[in-house]
Amino acid sequence: MLVGGAGQVKLTKDGSVLLHEMQIQHPTAAMIARAATAQDDITGDGTTSNVLFIGEIMRQAERYLGDGIHPRIIVDGLELAKVETLKFLEEFKQPIEGDVKRELLVEVAASSLNTKIHPNLANPLTEILVDAVKTIQRENQPLDLHMVEIMHMQHKMSTESQLIRGLVLDHGGRHSDMPSRLENCYIMCLNVSLEYEKTEVHSGFFWSNADQREKLIASERAFTDNKVQQICDLKEKLCKGTDKNFVVVNQKGIDPPALELLARYGIIGIRRAKRRNGERIPLACGGTCLNSLDDVTEKDLGFAKLVYEQTLGEDKYTFIEGVENPFSCTILIKGPNDYSIAQTKDAIRDGLRAVSNTI
C-alpha cells in the first residue's frame, strides 16, 4: 500500500488500483493511481511493476532533493532519461515478419505468468492461454477476449486447470430421467418459453361442469406441449436410426411437464441458460440462436461430439466438447480454495491480454 498525504492508493490482487475511503488530495498518490490505471487499460499487465518503478524514482529523487538539488533539474534529468529509454527501445525491438509464431506467443505468456504464480502452475497454463487465443482468432477481425470464458471449480489441484474447446455451463439438466452423457449431439440453442404461463391481464373463465374445465386446461397446456413436441419430432427426424443425439439449451424456462416429455425422448434439456452462453453456443458449436420453433432445419443446429454433466456437491456443470471449428472456448480453473483460484484467475487475465497484444 502506498500512502500519500490525505489519501491511500491500494493495489488489488490483479494489480488494478482502488482509491480507498476518501478523495485523494495528494498529487503524488493521484499520479501513481492514474499511471497504474492507464497501464491496466492499455496493456492489461504490469501495473504492480509500474507502481514499484514510480516509487523507486521518487525515492531516488528524494535523495537528490536532500542534497539541495532543485526539482526542475531532477525533472529535466527524468525527461532526458525518457528520451534515451524510448530511443533504446526502438533499437532493441525485434520486427516480426508474417504471422506471429506460436513459440513466441508461448514465451510471452510464460513471461507474464511466471511473475505472478509458481512455475509448476504457470508453465502448463502458457500452452492453455495461447491455444485459447488462437481458438477465438478470426481473420480480419479484432480479438474479442470475452469469447474466452473463465470458469472455476473448487476441487482438485490448481495444476489440473484445462482448456475446453467448447463450453462449460454452470447448470445442468433439471430432470432425473434425462441422460447425463451423450455423444454426437445436435445442439439446439433456444430463446423460447417452454412453460405454462398465466395471462398478464386479469381474466376469468366460466364453465358449467368439470368436463368443460378439463378441456379448458388441456387447451391451454396444449399450446406449450405443441412447441415441445416440435422439438421431439425434429429429434426423431434427424436422429432415428443413427448414433446421434439431441441437446436443448434454452435461455427461458422449461416447466416440469415439458421436461418430462423431453426426458421420454432421451433429450437433455437445460433451462434458464445465461444470455452470454446463448450468444457463445453458436460461435462454439455452429448453428443459430432460435427465437421460434417454426421451420427449423439441421442447418440451424450446432454440433458437438460429447455433452456430459458433472456434479460437485449441489452444483451441476455441463460440458460441451468436441467442436470442429470453435470461435469460443472455456478455460476451466481448478483449485483447492478460493485464494488459489483467484490468484490463477488474475494471472490468466493478464496472460490473455499479453498474448492478445502480441498478436
Element (H, E) at 317: strand 315-321
Cβ(4)–Cβ(58) below 8 Å = no
What count of Cα atoms within 13 Å lies in the side-chain half-sphere of residue 28?
A: 13
**d(Cα 278, Cα 190) in Å, to the nearest integer?**
8
Residue appearing with cell numbers 449431439: 185
Where residue 190 falls among pLDDT bands split at 50, 70, 90? very high
**d(Cα 70, Cα 101) in Å, to the nearest integer?**
49
User: Hey, what's the torsion of the CAs at 178, 197, 296, 278, to 10 degrees?
Assistant: -70
Res 29: pLDDT = 82
Res 12: pLDDT = 54
Q: Which domains does the chain have, with CATH numbers?
A: 2-92 (no CATH), 167-197+204-325 (3.50.7.10)
pTM of the model: 0.73
Contacts of 6 (CB under 8 A, 6+ apart): 22, 24, 25, 26
Rg of the chain over all Cα atoms, to the nearest angstrom:
28
**d(Cα 15, Cα 349) in Å, to the nearest integer?**
11
Residue appearing with cell numbers 458449436: 285
Cβ(112)–Cβ(351) below 8 Å = yes
- The string of pLDDT tens digits covering residues 258-293 is 999 999 999 999 998 888 888 888 888 888 999 988
Q: 212-220 long-range CB contacts below 8 Å, 24 or more apart?
A: 220/196
Is 6 a residue whose pLDDT tops 50? no
Res 286: pLDDT = 87
- The string of pLDDT tens digits covering residues 131-144 is 999 988 888 888 88
Is 38 a residue whose pLDDT tops 50? yes
- Residue 225: φ, ψ to 5°: -60, -35
Is 19 a residue whose pLDDT tops 80? no
Percentage of residues in the chain having pLDDT higher than 90: 32
Top-confidence residue, 175 or 185: 185
- Burial string for 108-147 (b: 16+ CB within 10 Å, else e) reads bbbebbbebbeeebbbebbebbbbbbebbeeeeeebebeb
